[in-house]
Structure 1
């Protein structure tokens, strides 16, 4: 067997551990060093003096900067750095300055005084595949097209009137979930909570957009779609050497763009088939707009419209990837925490019994009467935010923040995972204590900076109104209809509560638990 060449070594490398990252960085170090020396003289003579210092931070290594500091779980690594360098610090990641915000007070300062300057997007190379960043409501910087997409979300998908119109459908989907689990309980079959929550979330979205289910609770398709979405989240979330040294884009050393392109094409094939079917139906018989897809196609058909199938595909990719993965992972974390804290589970069940009735089904209208269940969801989002860094921001112009100079084109990471565990804000931050939210007006809708799992300001996730309804309905139904236990031979001590890092944050080990009919 011949010796592998340099190109094959680089292209096949896909780091998953700290040692893997170190190996890649040390392997490419001579290349970077040569490249940096060529530009050193140019950079020195073209830097402008700054009116204030950069935020403090750990000393960077030559060429690679602080890349070694990221590790396989950057949310935890950067939280640890914040304990030394403070709630706002800077890193040098390759060629790029990155500012990390780890406190509510600094995030509030950004929102109140610098929201426009921090409203750009730092787009990872994996988010550029097939032109996604050019059409994505998540990754596009503010512009007329971005504002149009936000208005479309507000008027056609997440408007209160639209959400009210979908209430019966969501009740039906959650009812199917309860029936499926009840059947499993008869044979004491363990349920993969993340999987069934994902399939339910997927069908809620697919009925909102397409008036059809995309998967069945006992089918393989839901599992395959979940794996597809998670694989995309891993590629977007995993540190990619290309983002720190753009000159390497042509090489794609970790193969991230290649994999992301293949995954995105798979997703687009699914949506393309659905769109083709609907277009043929519309040609065969004229009908009123009955769902979001009809509305999108009607916009495309207008004579003066520059909104086409390309835009629809990327719009669907954004909403389905974000809307399914974040909701299902939060449901899974809620159930894991409640199993670890059985007294909290009993307290929530008692509240549901009193408000809903033991033998009645939970309705969305009950949510406002269930403060403890609301507190459980909030506490879970505090400890396990779905997107630990939110979507990275890009600084649009030089700006001074908290007495520090933030240069234009800096990347900004808001570490909401660290903010949720800040002992200056939260008492006993590592403990699961829903009671901390009882009698409190704190919410996760983007106005209270202590709890911003879905972002804040003009870049807040547009799907929060739907996500909050689905979370309350699914979690409430799971604990109102059933008791839960671990599979035989498994103890709480053995239950893995670690997370795995991607663009979103999931349990490292899926939560598989056994339902019992709640008496």
Structure 2
């Protein structure tokens, strides 16, 4: 049989499979949705910005709809009420995760707290450690001196840029600073320097890994393409995983040797020491620690970097808001002083600016996908077992039923507001909700507030090449992650002390 005959037979087989699958699912009363094309489903309709196109589809089909992503039935929740049904009221049914090809390429993906089932003992063990040991207020407070040290290094880097009148890619600056934040919190500051070979290697590895991780992969929705890896994502990311694993293994081995040859009083008290203390009590292996650090690095760098680039873009796009934030900082902090974490509770407008940025530009606009681990009924619709479910928080955070003038940047809406950012109110869930809410949200909020306060307080910012505030490109990028379509470039100017 020639190639054309083979392709024709393959297409006919897939069409028959499509219609048989459609008949099978139609026996259940699935939420409504577009019919879609054979094999491709609604992939062409969804396009490059799925959070936007799915929000538009929900205006036709309702806040709970079924959309075919290629050959996969996917249920989309687009309202706060439906998010509450999935993430809180029925979270036991939606507690699973599908495994994307980019994740399955890693050797130990089934050990990941992000991608393993929340019903598993392994997931419960890791979650307990995170909630009771790593991300407690006491633990985060104990490490704030390290974060202040990173702020001083960031300010020194920006002072050099001011002297050189350098144009900065804000995302790159924030990415490096975020990695420093995380590496100091996890491994302590003695291991890394902004310009050390280790830090440069880690920055390059995490940058390449993030490029692959957020790229939409057609093989996730057309399973017959998986063996062919048409976009090269599995091939490209497998080697990166191996390199990151070797890097983290070396860090853990170095710490084990340090602990063996030094008195316990000389321990660092960072995340790594905490986790090594848990290896016997919780039967935690060194591989478990390595994969947990992978999870924290990937999630932490993406969320923080994307949020910081968006918030700086919004401030440069809205000069009156930037001026108001600078005024609040000037009233509370001396000129050219490093903003400390204890100053943050006295900066309510700055906090409101960050919350409004998260509302308009959530780093994970569809959150991570959920997977039903049992058949469940919601509002008269039956969602079968093993169905993928996305919560479109981008749509929820711009819903006029929840927000006045929802498409405009208005930080004042969060002043004196009781809206909670930690998942209790499903109108505002940039970090998710329920038992699969991001465990590191408290650390992420601290990092973003501290970085933004120091960037705004210690420097003036202007746009390059004579650009005006209205020229700042505020479009979102392609894919499932909400990054800027056009990276933000700005020029820092030193603020002189009185």
TM-score, length basis structure 1: 0.87
Partner of residue 398, structure 1: 375
Aligned mate of 2:164, from 187, 202, 225: 187
Deviations 1:365-424 (A, max 9, x none): 222221111110000001111111111000111111123221111111111122222222
**Offset, 1:94:** 3.2
3-state DSSP of counterpart to 2:105: helix
Partner of residue 374, structure 1: 351
Looking at structure 2, the residues matched to 308 and 494 of structure 1 have their Cα atoms a distance apart, in angstroms, of 51
**Cα separation, partners in 2 of 1:299 and 1:359, compared to 1, 3 Å:** closer
3-state DSSP of counterpart to 1:121: coil
Partner of residue 152, structure 1: 129
Structure 1 residue runs without a partner (length 5+): 7-26
**Cα separation, partners in 2 of 1:186 and 1:233, compared to 1, 3 Å:** closer
**Offset, 1:224:** 6.2
Looking at structure 2, the residues matched to 189 and 30 of structure 1 have their Cα atoms a distance apart, in angstroms, of 59
Looking at structure 1, the residues matched to 22 and 356 of structure 2 have their Cα atoms a distance apart, in angstroms, of 48
**Cα separation, partners in 2 of 1:206 and 1:328, compared to 1, 3 Å:** same
Q: Which shows bigger deviation, 312-321 or 178-187?
A: 178-187
Q: Which shows bigger deviation, 373-382 or 232-241?
A: 232-241
**Offset, 1:453:** 0.9
**Cα separation, partners in 2 of 1:243 and 1:213, compared to 1, 3 Å:** farther
Partner of residue 116, structure 2: 140
**Cα separation, partners in 2 of 1:213 and 1:435, compared to 1, 3 Å:** farther
Partner of residue 14, structure 1: none
Partner of residue 294, structure 1: 273
Partner of residue 162, structure 1: 139
**Cα separation, partners in 2 of 1:330 and 1:119, compared to 1, 3 Å:** same
Aligned mate of 2:416, from 421, 439, 449: 439
Partner of residue 200, structure 1: 177
- In angstroms, what is the RMSD of aligned CA positions? 2.7
3-state DSSP of counterpart to 2:426: coil
Partner of residue 413, structure 1: 390
Is 1:476 the equivalent of 2:450?
no
Is 1:263 the equivalent of 2:261?
no
Question: Any conservation in 2 of the 1:233–1:502 contact (CA below 8 Å)?
Answer: no
Is 1:96 the equivalent of 2:50?
no
1:172-321 aligned at under 5 Å gives the runs 172-212=149-189, 216-217=193-194, 225-226=202-203, 228-287=205-264, 289-290=267-268, 291-300=270-279, 302=280, 306-321=283-298
Looking at structure 2, the residues matched to 269 and 229 of structure 1 have their Cα atoms a distance apart, in angstroms, of 13
Q: Which shows bigger deviation, 62-71 or 221-230?
A: 221-230
Q: Which shows bigger deviation, 373-382 or 310-319?
A: 310-319
Partner of residue 37, structure 1: 16
Looking at structure 2, the residues matched to 94 and 85 of structure 1 have their Cα atoms a distance apart, in angstroms, of 19
Question: Any conservation in 2 of the 1:119–1:395 contact (CA below 8 Å)?
Answer: yes
Partner of residue 96, structure 2: 120
3-state DSSP of counterpart to 1:120: coil
Looking at structure 2, the residues matched to 170 and 38 of structure 1 have their Cα atoms a distance apart, in angstroms, of 55
Question: Any conservation in 2 of the 1:361–1:477 contact (CA below 8 Å)?
Answer: yes
**Cα separation, partners in 2 of 1:38 and 1:502, compared to 1, 3 Å:** closer
Looking at structure 2, the residues matched to 44 and 473 of structure 1 have their Cα atoms a distance apart, in angstroms, of 51
Q: How many residues align?
A: 490
Deviations 1:249-269 (A, max 9, x none): 333233221122122122212
**Offset, 1:40:** 6.2
Is 1:61 the equivalent of 2:37?
yes
3-state DSSP of counterpart to 2:278: helix
Looking at structure 1, the residues matched to 135 and 411 of structure 2 have their Cα atoms a distance apart, in angstroms, of 28
Q: Which shows bigger deviation, 224-233 or 186-195?
A: 224-233
Is 1:323 the equivalent of 2:300?
yes
3-state DSSP of counterpart to 1:484: strand
Looking at structure 2, the residues matched to 332 and 179 of structure 1 have their Cα atoms a distance apart, in angstroms, of 19
Looking at structure 2, the residues matched to 129 and 85 of structure 1 have their Cα atoms a distance apart, in angstroms, of 35
Looking at structure 2, the residues matched to 508 and 417 of structure 1 have their Cα atoms a distance apart, in angstroms, of 16
Deviations 1:301-341 (A, max 9, x none): x3x86432322221111001111221122111111100010
**Offset, 1:492:** 3.3
